[in-house]
């Protein structure tokens, strides 16, 4: 059974600071996704990482994937209040019949304090 662990689960950071969220997973996978969720809202896709060494950046967020270490990171640079949300990583595993199933981490609730 695929397990996905995120840490930290809660993160309170000051505006302007940098921090990294970690996502470890238990079995081989070469597809990893990062989503953002605002309270009571849906999940918004942030990054899709498809290969070892993949790095993607959008604004103050940068995601990377190390498939050998089974680790993805989401790095936040110079945080601003608008980044306050819950961030989920999800790992894709083949579930047969040409289908892939996503297993989500528990999410990291990020609060950016002025």
The site for another protein (CB under 8 A) is made up of 31, 33, 35, 40-45, 48, 50, 88, 92, 95-104, 106-107
Min dist. Cβ of residue 84 to another protein (A): 19
62: CB partners within 8 A, 6+ apart: 55, 56, 74, 75, 77
Tell me how far apart the alpha carbons of residues 103 and 4 are, in angstroms, rounded to a whole number. 7
Residue 86 C-beta: closest distance to another protein, Å: 10
CA distance linking residue 68 with residue 101, whole number of Å: 20
Shortest separation between residue 94's beta carbon and another protein, angstroms? 10
Nearer to another protein, 83 or 88 (CB): 88
Tokens of 109: 């609730």
Closer CB to another protein, 41 or 81, in the complex: 41
State the Cα–Cα distance between residues 27 and 110, nearest whole angstrom.
Answer: 27
Nearer to another protein, 48 or 80 (CB): 48
Q: Closest separation between CB of residue 43 and another protein, Å?
A: 4
Given a contact cutoff of 8 angstroms between Cβ atoms, the answer to whether 10 and 18 are in contact is no
Q: Which is nearer to another protein, 49 or 79 (CB)?
A: 49
């Amino acid at each position: 059974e695929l397990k996905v662990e995120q840490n930290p689960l809660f993160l309170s950071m000051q505006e302007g600071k940098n921090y990294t969220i970690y996502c470890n997973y238990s079995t081989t996978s070469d597809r990893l996704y990062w989503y953002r969720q605002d309270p009571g809202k849906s999940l918004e896709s942030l990054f899709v990482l498809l290969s070892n060494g993949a790095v993607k950046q959008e604004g103050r967020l940068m995601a990377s994937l190390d498939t050998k270490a089974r680790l993805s990171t989401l790095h936040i640079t110079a945080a601003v209040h608008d980044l306050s949300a819950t961030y989920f990583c999800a790992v894709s595993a083949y579930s047969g019949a040409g289908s892939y199933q996503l297993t989500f981490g528990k999410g990291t609730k990020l609060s950016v304090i002025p």
